[in-house]
Amino acid sequence: MALRVVVTGAAGQIAYSLLYSIAKGDVFGSDQKVELVLLDIPPMMTVLSGVVMELQDCALPLVEKTIATADPDEAFKGCDAVIMVGAMPRKDGMERKDLLKANARIFETQGKSLNEFAKKTVKVLVVGNPANTNCVLALRSAPSIPSANFTCLTRLDLNRAQAQVAYRLGRPCEAVSNLIIWGNHSSTQFPDAAHASVASADGSVSSVYDAVKDDAWLTGEFIKTVQSRGGTVLKARKLSSAMSAAKAIGDHMRDWWFGTKENKWVSMGVLSDGTKYGIPEGIIYSMPVKINADKSWSVVEGLSISDFAREKMDVTAKELLEEKEMAIQFLSA
């Protein structure tokens, strides 16, 4: 049976890469039929009709149906997976709190609609920024859906970190594993190489710290580069990351759908229950997770946390607590 997959913000630049990747089977499997539901706002319906035409023109065998709509209730009806890319962009002169406010309403409303119309097994990935806080707001509005079914995207940050280490060592990206992104998808995030390893050409495995042999780089420039990569791409391209964001969304969703490999973990923003690594309860915080074949996930436990890491993990937790509080205040005002 076809999977009903909703992409919000479907007329935008990330969706333009993402939809093709889903439609050709890169995410849910090369033999899995899909019903693609494209949600955007009313002024974007003409643009969206062009995206639908292009999807048809791709003549892909896995796409059973394509639906374009501006109505979240219609979009989410009976859906299996939702990728929430649509969000109010930050405009010139707009303050961070204005962005939070505009998006709080969108994600609260769409959360309510998910609550009423989506399958209870739906898997929801929030991408639109501020992604962690938007994800909290969506899941709060959808109490009938397990909160574990809501995650936010920090895979792009993880992929950026993996690529930085791989290029530094002259190894392919897939040789580097178990890096971690802790916290917020913002410049306070903490890209952590302390538990990561790299496979050399002869198959032997060593820790990234032993292989790089430059602790100052791993605790300095590496972290800054990953934290600020989005801004650096934006400055160069005059547009925010889209191709790499779509690739990361595909990686995140594919791992969620099929499970992570033995002894490997990935990072994603998940709801903190307050019992792991001293992270406060009730925020969506990026952590290392393993995913099972039944799509359930668990946080990797027992990793040692240095004083250096502790400080960075607390800074990003504090920011997330503040963002959540501010967003909830707006909603109740």
List interacting residues with ligand NAI (CB under 6 A): 8-9, 11-15, 39-41, 44, 85-89, 106, 127-129, 131, 153, 156, 185, 240-242, 245
Distance CA 121, CA 79 (A): 9
| Opening angle at CA 18, ends 17 and 20, nearest 5 | 75
Q: Which is nearer to ligand NAI, 62 or 135 (CB)?
A: 135
Smallest gap from residue 290 Cβ to ligand NAI (A): 21
Q: How many CB atoms lie within 10 A of CB 171?
A: 16
Choosing from 4, 123, 185, 247, which is the catalytic residue?
185
Q: Which is nearer to ligand NAI, 197 or 255 (CB)?
A: 255
Residue 183 DSSP symbol: B
The number of CA neighbours under 13 Å toward the Cβ of 213 is: 2
CB 4 within 8 A of CB 80: yes
Across the chain, the runs of DSSP E, i.e. the strands, are: 3-8, 34-39, 63-69, 81-84, 123-126, 150-152, 176-177, 180-182, 190-192, 197-199, 205-207, 266-271, 284-291, 297-299
Smallest gap from residue 292 Cβ to ligand NAI (A): 24
Smallest gap from residue 203 Cβ to ligand NAI (A): 33
Smallest gap from residue 72 Cβ to ligand NAI (A): 7
Distance CA 289, CA 267 (A): 6
Q: Residue with CB nearest ligand NAI? A: 12
Q: Which is nearer to ligand NAI, 192 or 198 (CB)?
A: 192
Smallest gap from residue 103 Cβ to ligand NAI (A): 8
Alpha-carbon dihedral of residues 8, 11, 17, 21, nearest 10 degrees?
A: 50
Q: How many CB atoms lie within 10 A of CB 311?
A: 10
Smallest gap from residue 116 Cβ to ligand NAI (A): 16
- The distance between the two most distant Cα atoms of the chain, rounded to a whole number of Å, is 61
CA 3 remoteness from chain centre: 20
In three-state secondary structure terms, 121 is: coil
CB 281 within 8 A of CB 274: yes
Q: Which is nearer to ligand NAI, 34 or 75 (CB)?
A: 75
Q: Which is nearer to ligand NAI, 153 or 287 (CB)?
A: 153
Q: Which is nearer to ligand NAI, 16 or 209 (CB)?
A: 16
Active site residue 185: yes
CB 303 within 8 A of CB 193: no
Catalytic residue positions, numbered: 185
